[in-house]
Amino acid sequence: MIDRLLQNNTAAKILAIFLAFIIWFYITGDTRDAAGNDLSRPFARVPIVVHNLAEYHVITEMEREVDFMVRGSSEALAEIAPEDMEIFVDLSGLKEGEHVVPVKSTAPPDLRIQKISPSRVTVVIEEVITSQMEVVPVLTGEPVEGYVTGEVMVDPQNVLIKGSRSRHSLVDEVMVIIDVEGADSDIQKILPLKVVNAQGREIEGLEIQPAEVEVYVNVHLPEEQFPIEVVMEGELPEGLEIIEVTAYPQTVFLVGLKTILENFETVKSLPISLKGREESFTYEVELEVPLGTSLKTESNILVNVVIGTKDE
């Protein structure tokens, strides 16, 4: 009989359409009930919506997805999507602790949700703790050879940490990691924050307000403070002598590679001539800046020279 049907072109087409229809229902999971009326369609891993969780509470443990069946007409099932239904738990009035609550559902009027699995879920509720903590900057890497890092600034310096009591108890510090590898100039950028425990491991599940901070790192050549050595040349008239020489300022900062700075003990002035000087004087003179270095301040200084009569 099957052979005769297949030889009939029209009958073969009808049979193919019928088989395709059966396969479609098999693939989509739709099956007829015993009365041959409504159809059932499965939905898997649909998120559970939480209703009426108090503002000062947070869920730390709960199964977040369920499977279920939807029954209805073939037309209604063909058009239904997960967002047209709601699977939820109602946490009204629940206090801190562990609770077992039923999973509830809503669906369009012409559909029914059945066989929710799991039908009840365990919910662990904890109090939300909020605290203020200082941000700790952590530098990683090394600047260009010969350069060093100086002042580090973070804005804002303090942030709010918000989360469950149990997670909050693990917090050791809030840090911002700043990579200075290969830097040869100041660093200024916006970076994310990280909450860590005493072992330096990041703690998930905590809210940081704000989540990012602006950081500034001064990157510069080394600097060192040196006394000023005032250089004199020539001689005073006979019978006079220098009683005192004072430089203003008395010290300056030289900036340069450490291998260069370690070769000096003082910074010298250009020579001040004593020729023809018969009384005390104040003189502005330029400093002699060593090759390969620079001054943090102006290169001119004031020198006060006190001249007196030699004791016989």
DSSP string, 172-203: -EEEEEEE-TT--S-EEEEEE-EEE-TTSPBP
Look at the block and give the residue holding tokens 């029209």.
10
The whole-number pLDDT of residue 5 equals 44
pLDDT at 189 over 70: yes
Q: What is the CATH architecture assignment of 223-309?
A: Beta Complex (2.170)
The whole-number pLDDT of residue 7 equals 53
The whole-number pLDDT of residue 1 equals 46
Residue type present at position 14: I
Pick the CATH number of 127-220 from 3.40.50.620, 2.170.120.40, 3.40.50.300, 2.30.40.10: 2.170.120.40
Rounded distance between C-alpha atoms, residue 73 and residue 130, angstroms: 51
Mean of the per-residue pLDDT values for the chain? 86
Confidence of residue 66 (pLDDT cuts 50, 70, 90): very high
The whole-number pLDDT of residue 140 equals 95
Rounded distance between C-alpha atoms, residue 173 and residue 132, angstroms: 11
The whole-number pLDDT of residue 81 equals 82
Q: What is the mean pLDDT of residues 44-60?
A: 91
Rounded distance between C-alpha atoms, residue 138 and residue 175, angstroms: 7
pLDDT at 285 over 70: yes
In this structure, is the dihedral angle defined by the CA atoms of residues 218, 219, 222 and 228, taken in order, positive or negative?
negative
Please give the structure tokens belonging to residue 132. Answer: 């203020």
What is the CB-side half-sphere exposure of residue 129 using CA atoms within 13 A?
Answer: 14
Domain pair 35-118 / 223-309, same fold: yes
Least confident of 22-36, 47-61, 223-237: 22-36
Q: What is the mean pLDDT of residues 45-59?
A: 91
Q: In Å, how far from its chain's centre is CA 108?
A: 44
Name the pairing type of β-strands 31-32 and 39-47. Answer: antiparallel
The whole-number pLDDT of residue 259 equals 86
Confidence of residue 48 (pLDDT cuts 50, 70, 90): very high
Burial environment of residue 155 by CB neighbours within 10 A (0 to 12, 13 to 18, 19 or more):
exposed
The whole-number pLDDT of residue 141 equals 94
At the topology level, CATH places domain 35-118 in RNA Polymerase Alpha Subunit; Chain A, domain 2 (2.170.120)
Domain residue spans of the chain: 1-32, 35-118, 127-220, 223-309
The whole-number pLDDT of residue 16 equals 55
The whole-number pLDDT of residue 32 equals 47
Percent of the chain with pLDDT over 90: 58
Percent of the chain with pLDDT over 70: 88
**73/217: higher pLDDT:** 217
Q: Distances from the Cα of 230 to the Cαs of 247, 288, 309, 311, in angstroms? A: 7, 10, 21, 24
Confidence of residue 243 (pLDDT cuts 50, 70, 90): very high
Identify whether the C-beta of residue 65 lies closer than 8 Å to the C-beta of residue 48: yes
Identify the DSSP state of 12.
H
The whole-number pLDDT of residue 17 equals 54
The whole-number pLDDT of residue 3 equals 53
Q: Is the pTM of this model over 0.85?
A: no
For 101-145, how does the pLDDT look when each residue is reduced to its tens digit (9 = 90+)? 999 998 888 888 889 999 999 999 999 999 999 999 999 999 998
